[in-house]
Structure 1
């Protein structure tokens, strides 16, 4: 790697640390988190399939945008779909120059139809300001919570089981019907309500069929299945960080299962305890007060905050 690129990464190292999804877990090795999700990821970024670098010349040195093409999303949405990881630039780069470069990057993506999004930690405020100045829109504000007392968690137990493969279509229907106007798909007019519903339905169905490690549903006599919670054990990250944990990746609760969000999350913590996991993570929108109440009742702590921005044709 050239000296210029290395200097750009070093200039951004303090902010890149906050790109770790586990930054709130203070017992985890900070150096290892930088290597996996921050400076180390930036150094090896373009070596991965479908990962690219877009460079814009600037009086204060080059400004580089690291982004990837998402093949599955591109196929599903019928338009090239990209995710921006971050931008690298010198400390002395003015906000106006960074915003100008962001406009050039957006023009470089422009095709008859395209979509690009990014999730940035709120600590990276200058880049967030530059992208919004360049016409990117904020489509979701996220909060990440974590439970760090899994081994001592004591709570009432609730009857749950794994969703069966033959229930994938039903789980998909629950996800589509439990519309959340504040998630990034429903909050962004580029998708439209029907396409956003269809995407979440496809995701939920895939979760049941093996994309996630387990999908929990109620198993109480006389109670219909009108809710679910999908869990990922994050095995690769756990191995690299030397710490077992899991994440709630998608959940939906409809009227017939009112009150089951807390029950499903509580059983997720019980599951983590049985698997000797140290943490359970859960991300939600900053508007989702019902989830806040669940977090308060079950002992979750706030670990971080991020913003999802998007641009399109």
Structure 2
């Protein structure tokens, strides 16, 4: 722990690190900029952040590095030390046995630091990292698909009455999120959290979205219809500025029984909002099990961009 990042290992992993960009499937965006923002640039400068940690494992001529960090907000909420692994660095010559041994050593390092939980979100292209973690006892808790809409300027789906949620509705939005439980999101699929705590986390997250964490939260605005659904949006301003384009990302959405059918309407209005704001892309990530979202994407003209796995370890 405390080692500097090995530049040669970053270079060896450059091809896979590109896929850590959440926009790797948008071919119009510059590869070099995406690498700097999300891939080799992040890995190469990882140790420069004092909250980041580097664990190094050496065996023979092989060196393996784990880049990870303590998540203070999550740690406070769950009242247990929660870590996130960014990635693992190694060369193509590193054997599966060495990676497995490195994974076991990293697991021991986490235990020594008092970690209760550690997770990683890996692009599906990074199979060797997923295999190394699996061999070290990590479990798969969620597989995600990211859809994108790149014809925002010409989007002409029918309009629906929506409005932005007010900050005084934060608690209500939180309750909607908690009650619309999704057994396949990582907070419910991974039983380390437990259903009740998973509900509480998503309620807090949804409330924070209304209170300023997100750029907008859309809710139905139809006469005599109770608000029992919402869709939180981030416009990803920092990424958009760096990549010289405009984004809107669906961060979180939930639909209760009183608003059946409103997922499609809220997503449609998100695309209209992006068009009005001059954005080029709308992004939406969901679980690979969420067939209802697939149908929405098909109807509204979204395309499948990429996929990722969430793996986790707990003490």
Shared fold per TM-score greater than 0.5: yes
Name the CA distance, whole Å, in 2 between partners of 1:255 and 1:136: 36
- What is the CA RMSD across the aligned residues, in angstroms? 1.3
Name the CA distance, whole Å, in 1 between partners of 2:87 and 2:60: 20
Could you list the runs of 5+ residues in structure 2 that have no partner in the other structure?
none
Checking the alignment, whether the CA contact within 8 Å between 2:83 and 2:117 is kept in structure 1 is yes
**SS in structure 2 at match of 1:277:** coil
Name the CA distance, whole Å, in 2 between partners of 1:75 and 1:294: 36
- Equivalent residue for 2:291? 289
Checking the alignment, whether the CA contact within 8 Å between 1:233 and 1:247 is kept in structure 2 is yes
Name the CA distance, whole Å, in 1 between partners of 2:248 and 2:103: 35
- Equivalent residue for 1:114? 116
- Equivalent residue for 2:41? 40
Structure 1 residues 166-185: Cα deviation after superposition (integer angstroms, max 9, x where no partner): 11110000000000000000
**SS in structure 1 at match of 2:310:** strand
Checking the alignment, whether the CA contact within 8 Å between 1:60 and 1:90 is kept in structure 2 is no
Checking the alignment, whether the CA contact within 8 Å between 1:66 and 1:84 is kept in structure 2 is yes
- Equivalent residue for 2:227? 225
Name the CA distance, whole Å, in 2 between partners of 1:286 and 1:90: 31
Cα displacement (A) at 1:246: 1.1
- Equivalent residue for 1:267? 269
Checking the alignment, whether the CA contact within 8 Å between 2:5 and 2:45 is kept in structure 1 is no
Cα displacement (A) at 1:49: 3.6
- Equivalent residue for 2:70? 69
**SS in structure 2 at match of 1:64:** strand
**SS in structure 2 at match of 1:195:** helix
**SS in structure 1 at match of 2:6:** helix
Name the CA distance, whole Å, in 2 between partners of 1:27 and 1:49: 34
**SS in structure 2 at match of 1:57:** strand
Checking the alignment, whether the CA contact within 8 Å between 1:139 and 1:308 is kept in structure 2 is yes
Written as runs of structure 1 = structure 2, the 5 A alignment for 1:97-246 is 97-110=98-111, 114-246=116-248
Corresponding residue pairs, total:
312
Checking the alignment, whether the CA contact within 8 Å between 2:5 and 2:43 is kept in structure 1 is no
Checking the alignment, whether the CA contact within 8 Å between 2:5 and 2:47 is kept in structure 1 is no
